[in-house]
């Protein structure tokens, strides 16, 4: 097992990840709020978390990872006021909250699939864990950390010794993404107290409600991540992930309530990738038009070109999305594939076996570079070094395949078509993506026209379980 160093929000230092137990590393990820499609900013966070999980496995850790799906309780404001986001989605589309949750959960995982983001082994919708939330809230009551006021149940942050332990900053410094126009909740004893269980809501039509010792209602957002993590990953969590906006209040509140219930330190390492924004500032689902994977595919981009775009920058750097930079990543991706294709073609003629020592040497160097605060861009530089290294093609290919366990750019399989035909098929592949989009929109005329265009270029389309593929006629 090789050591991995990572910036820890809680200590403000890059430090070694040290799991609590020897046989596994527990990792928790805040999942999406499924009231709309994930935008490419959200997906940047999930790509970087995916790289981290794969890097840890690559380095030899037995990662056990859980993720929630927020299908109830996430209000449009972090200040415990505003509308429930699921209700907002349901109203917008004239569906029930559960229909909305199912549709957008599936859409989220379809996007993850296209971006090679592995699904965590444990994925739990919040609505599946209501008894666990109630039990945890009851424990907080029993230990004197919860109170009722105006019908809701609140967490009393004044009872916690170091509420701001995650960053050491006060609320005013941490108000990332919290709106100014929210009305103060007069039931709270302290400004930072937060709702554990709602029974009174100005939105009487809130359709998802359950019985509880405190009345018919629904859980607050923060309690779901604590309860799900405790249930599936145990009392000691090694690594907790989420976008930078989750630091406050979400993760700050998770720590407060988890440690209040447990009576000991809960999570050792906090990973917070920075945001991807557009030129106007924040990229957000509530802003109406926003960029998602489908938008990129419709414009002819390969989803994995977007993954490469993300890997080119450090996760701690805020990124501004422009089509110009995506174009650059896109052409870098196509060139990468075609270089791997020629290596593959040369390797097929070599009739040799890979030099294990060399593969091992490169692997150790890769972990050393990428394992130093997840420096994916240095990992890519090493990949380019391998492409031009003076080693045999079979070994080269083995190293590329090995790095791709972490990078997940389909470097060898996606270069297959270029290899089979010896031709640059990138434009036809873009057409394939457009055809998939047309089929999804039941636009059969466009789909047929694209098929004809591809046929005229000398290729048939094979529809396979992994998606459409080109076949030379």
- Using the rule CB under 5 A, give the single segment among 40-48, 83-91, 221-229, 439-447 that binds Zn ion: 221-229
Q: Are 151 and 51 in contact (CB under 8 A)?
A: no
Chosen residue from 9, 44, 63, 454 binding ligand AMP by CB under 6 A? 44
User: CA nearest 308: which of 342, 333, 338, 286?
Assistant: 333
Judged by CB under 6 A, does residue 275 bind ligand AMP? yes
User: Residue 323 CA to chain centroid, in angstroms?
Assistant: 21
**What whole-number distance in Å separates Cα of residue 203 and Cα of residue 167?**
34
Judged by CB under 5 A, does residue 247 bind Zn ion? no
Q: CB of 49: closest distance to ligand AMP in angstroms?
A: 8
**What whole-number distance in Å separates Cα of residue 50 and Cα of residue 57?**
11
Q: Are 274 and 315 in contact (CB under 8 A)?
A: yes
Q: Is the CB of 44 or the CB of 307 nearer to ligand AMP?
A: 44
- Using the rule CB under 6 A, give the single segment among 95-103, 149-157, 275-283, 447-455 that binds ligand AMP: 275-283
Q: CB of 32: closest distance to ligand AMP in angstroms?
A: 4
Phi, psi of 469 (to 5 degrees): -130, 155
User: Residue 101 CA to chain centroid, in angstroms?
Assistant: 17
Binding positions for Zn ion, 29-88, rule CB under 5 A: 30
Sorted by sequence, the CB contacts under 8 Å of residue 169 that are 6+ apart come out as 248
Q: CB of 200: closest distance to ligand AMP in angstroms?
A: 24
Q: CB of 54: closest distance to ligand AMP in angstroms?
A: 18
Judged by CB under 6 A, does residue 253 bind ligand AMP? no
Judged by CB under 6 A, does residue 243 bind ligand AMP? yes
Judged by CB under 5 A, does residue 225 bind Zn ion? yes
Write out the E strands in 107-217. 122-125, 146-149, 152-155, 194-198
Phi, psi of 443 (to 5 degrees): -95, 80
- Using the rule CB under 6 A, give the single segment among 18-26, 36-44, 193-201, 306-314 that binds ligand AMP: 36-44
Q: CB of 107: closest distance to ligand AMP in angstroms?
A: 12
Judged by CB under 6 A, does residue 30 bind ligand AMP? yes
Judged by CB under 6 A, does residue 426 bind ligand AMP? no
Binding positions for ligand AMP, 276-335, rule CB under 6 A: 276-277, 283
* Residue tagged 């009851």 (tokens): 138
For residue 117 the two structure tokens come to: 């983001």
User: CA nearest 306: which of 316, 317, 259, 295?
Assistant: 295
- Using the rule CB under 5 A, give the single segment among 218-226, 258-266, 305-313, 337-345 that binds Zn ion: 218-226
Which residue ranges make up the site for Zn ion (CB under 5 A)?
Answer: 30, 225
């Amino acid at each position: 097992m090789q050591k991995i160093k990572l910036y820890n929000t809680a200590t403000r230092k890059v430090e070694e990840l040290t799991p609590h137990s020897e046989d596994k590393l527990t990792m928790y990820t805040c999942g999406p709020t499924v009231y709309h499609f994930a935008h490419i900013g959200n997906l940047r966070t999930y790509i970087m978390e995916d790289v981290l999980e794969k890097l840890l496995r690559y380095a030899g850790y037995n990662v056990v990872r859980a993720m929630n799906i927020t299908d109830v309780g996430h209000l449009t404001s972090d200040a415990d006021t505003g509308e429930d986001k699921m209700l907002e989605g349901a109203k917008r589309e004239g569906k029930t909250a559960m229909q909305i949750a199912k549709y957008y959960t599936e859409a989220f995982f379809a996007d993850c699939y296209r971006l090679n983001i592995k699904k965590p082994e444990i994925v739990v919708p919040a609505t599946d864990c209501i008894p666990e939330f109630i039990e945890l809230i009851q424990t907080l009551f029993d230990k004197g950390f919860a109170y009722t006021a105006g019908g809701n149940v609140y967490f009393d942050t004044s009872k916690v010794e170091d509420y701001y332990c995650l960053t050491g900053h006060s609320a005013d410094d941490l108000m990332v993404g919290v709106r100014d126009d929210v009305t103060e909740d007069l039931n709270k004893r302290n400004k930072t107290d937060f709702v554990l269980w709602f029974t009174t809501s100005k939105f009487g039509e809130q359709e998802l409600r359950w019985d509880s010792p405190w009345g018919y209602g629904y859980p607050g957002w923060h309690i779901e991540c604590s309860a799900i993590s405790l249930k599936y990953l145990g009392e000691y969590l090694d690594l907790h992930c989420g976008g930078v906006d989750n630091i406050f209040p979400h993760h700050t509140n998770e720590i407060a309530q988890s440690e209040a219930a447990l009576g000991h330190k809960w999570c050792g390492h906090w990973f917070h990738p920075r945001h991807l924004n557009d030129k106007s500032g924040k990229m957000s689902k509530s802003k109406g038009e926003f960029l998602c994977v489908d938008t990129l595919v419709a414009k002819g981009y390969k989803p994995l070109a977007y993954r490469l775009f993300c890997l080119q920058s450090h996760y701690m750097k805020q990124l501004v999305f422009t089509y110009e930079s995506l174009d650059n990543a896109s052409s870098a991706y196509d060139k990468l594939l075609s270089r791997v294709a020629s290596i593959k073609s040369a390797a097929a003629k070599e009739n040799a076996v890979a030099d294990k020592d060399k593969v091992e040497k490169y692997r150790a160097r890769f972990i050393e570079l990428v394992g130093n605060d997840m420096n994916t861009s240095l990992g890519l530089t090493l990949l380019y070094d391998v492409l031009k290294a003076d080693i045999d093609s079979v070994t080269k290919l083995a190293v590329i395949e090995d790095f791709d366990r972490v990078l997940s750019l389909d470097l060898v399989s996606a270069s297959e078509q270029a290899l089979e035909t010896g031709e640059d098929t990138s434009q036809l592949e873009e057409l394939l993506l457009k055809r998939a989009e047309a089929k999804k929109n039941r636009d059969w005329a466009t789909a047929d026209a694209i098929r004809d265009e591809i046929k005229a270029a000398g290729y048939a389309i094979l529809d396979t379980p992994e998606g459409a593929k080109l076949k030379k006629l």
